[in-house]
């Protein structure tokens, strides 16, 4: 593992009042380079470098989608899983919103996470061995599945988990069709090259509320407007079985789902083994390991 560069980590110190809101990123965003060998082609790696994300239209087959959809249904209705602290429910409906560390709860999901189609693409982008920083299922049922406000994952992972630099990639695998109207993922293309610092002291055990509805650690409206004006907003739609890989510093979010059409996905975050977590940069204590792993064994 590499030695921490304090000049690098200090660029991303956050949740204090006297920092500029926008900091331009200097690290590479495709750490393996656009010619890195692997399942992603040069054009796809170049798109990820330019936009901060790349889509894979048919990561899973139809039969695999059916298998994993059945597994998600089983987990959502299992009373033992429901009672587990790794399960998060919606504030209003009390329906299951997310199940964390799902690759340790489900053997089927564990196999998918380790699949070369998934982990291999992460290694290619990050240019190193990778470990699972976080895994979860996101459920967004019809008629009320809650949204996720605009945020950069890295801001939270840096402030609350101690991730030194934005050298992680998220893979969102759709198990239902993603329409523009059922709360699809939205990303500001190119926003991964600008870090948005947030203000506000992080309360102890903030994760208990933020996983249901995040308020602290969200960007200010002026910064969001600047990024949206600069980059626009991409609505990422696609059939079940498609996937999106996106940089940890992308500004992204999703709206609530008031349609009859549910949206669910398997979400896996791979971090470089050279970017392992240290102490949080703006929180009194680390979040639980099921949210931010502190076991760095490569996949």
CATH assignment of the domain containing 100: 2.60.120.620
The mean per-residue pLDDT over the stretch 67-74 comes to 95
292 lies in some domain: no
291 lies in some domain: no
Domain limits for position 211: 31-275
**pLDDT of amino acid 208:** 56
Tell me: pLDDT of 251 over 70. Answer: yes
The mean per-residue pLDDT over the stretch 220-226 comes to 93
**pLDDT of amino acid 212:** 46
Cβ-count burial 24-39 (b if 16+ within 10 Å, e if not): ebeeebbbbebebeee
185 lies in some domain: yes
25 lies in some domain: no
Taking the CA atoms of residue 198, residue 200, residue 203 and residue 205 in that order, the dihedral angle to the nearest 10 degrees is -20
Task: pLDDT band for 36, please (50, 70, 90 cuts).
Answer: very high
Tell me: pLDDT of 137 over 90. Answer: yes
101 lies in some domain: yes
262 lies in some domain: yes
pLDDT tens-digit map of 163-217: 999 999 999 999 999 999 999 999 999 999 999 988 766 656 655 555 544 555 6
pTM of the shown model? 0.91
**pLDDT of amino acid 282:** 85
Two structure tokens written together for 31: 């750490």
Strand partners, 134: 269
Q: Work out how many domains the chain is built from and give that number.
A: 1
127 lies in some domain: yes
Tell me: pLDDT of 222 over 80. Answer: yes
The mean per-residue pLDDT over the stretch 126-146 comes to 93
**pLDDT of amino acid 26:** 86
pLDDT tens-digit map of 4-15: 455 666 778 767
Tell me: pLDDT of 274 over 70. Answer: yes
- The share of the chain scoring above pLDDT 90, in percent, equals 76
User: Which DSSP helix (H) or strand (E) runs through 155?
Assistant: helix 153-156
Cβ–Cβ under 8 Å, residues 116 and 39: yes
pLDDT tens-digit map of 90-128: 777 778 889 999 999 999 999 999 999 999 999 999 999
234 lies in some domain: yes
The per-residue pLDDT of the chain, averaged, comes to: 90
Tell me: pLDDT of 277 over 80. Answer: yes
The mean per-residue pLDDT over the stretch 148-158 comes to 93
Tell me: pLDDT of 58 over 50. Answer: yes
- The share of the chain scoring above pLDDT 70, in percent, equals 89
The mean per-residue pLDDT over the stretch 226-246 comes to 97
DSSP E strands: which ranges in the chain? 22-24, 53-56, 87-89, 96-100, 130-140, 148-152, 168-174, 185-187, 194-196, 234-236, 243-247, 251-254, 263-272
């Amino acid at each position: 593992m590499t030695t921490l560069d304090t000049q690098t980590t200090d660029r991303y110190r956050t949740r204090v009042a006297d920092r500029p809101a926008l900091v331009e990123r200097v690290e590479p965003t495709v750490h393996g380079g656009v010619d890195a060998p692997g399942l992603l082609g040069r054009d796809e790696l170049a798109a990820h470098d330019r936009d901060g994300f790349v889509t894979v239209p048919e990561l899973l087959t139809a039969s695999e989608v059916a298998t994993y959809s059945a597994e998600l249904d089983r987990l959502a209705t299992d009373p033992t899983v429901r009672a587990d602290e790794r399960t998060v429910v919606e504030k209003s409906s009390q329906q299951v919103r997310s199940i964390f560390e799902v690759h340790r709860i489900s053997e089927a999901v564990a196999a998918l996470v380790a699949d070369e189609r998934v982990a291999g693409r992460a290694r290619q982008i990050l240019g190193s061995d990778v470990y699972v920083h976080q895994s979860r299922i996101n459920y967004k049922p019809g008629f009320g599945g809650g949204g996720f406000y605009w945020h950069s994952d890295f801001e939270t992972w840096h402030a609350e988990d101690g991730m030194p630099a934005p050298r992680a990639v998220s893979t969102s695998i759709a198990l239902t069709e993603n329409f523009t109207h059922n709360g699809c993922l939205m990303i500001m293309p190119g926003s991964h090259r600008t870090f948005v610092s947030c203000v506000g002291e992080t309360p102890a055990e903030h994760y208990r509320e933020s996983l249901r509805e995040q308020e602290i650690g969200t960007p200010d409206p002026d910064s969001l407007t600047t990024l949206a004006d600069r980059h626009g907003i991409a609505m990422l739609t696609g059939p079940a079985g498609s996937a999106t890989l996106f940089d940890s510093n992308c500004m992204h979010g999703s709206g609530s789902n008031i349609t009859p059409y549910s949206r669910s996905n398997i979400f896996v975050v791979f971090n470089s083994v050279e970017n392992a977590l240290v102490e949080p940069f703006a929180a009194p204590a680390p979040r639980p390991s099921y949210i931010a792993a502190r076991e760095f064994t490569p996949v």
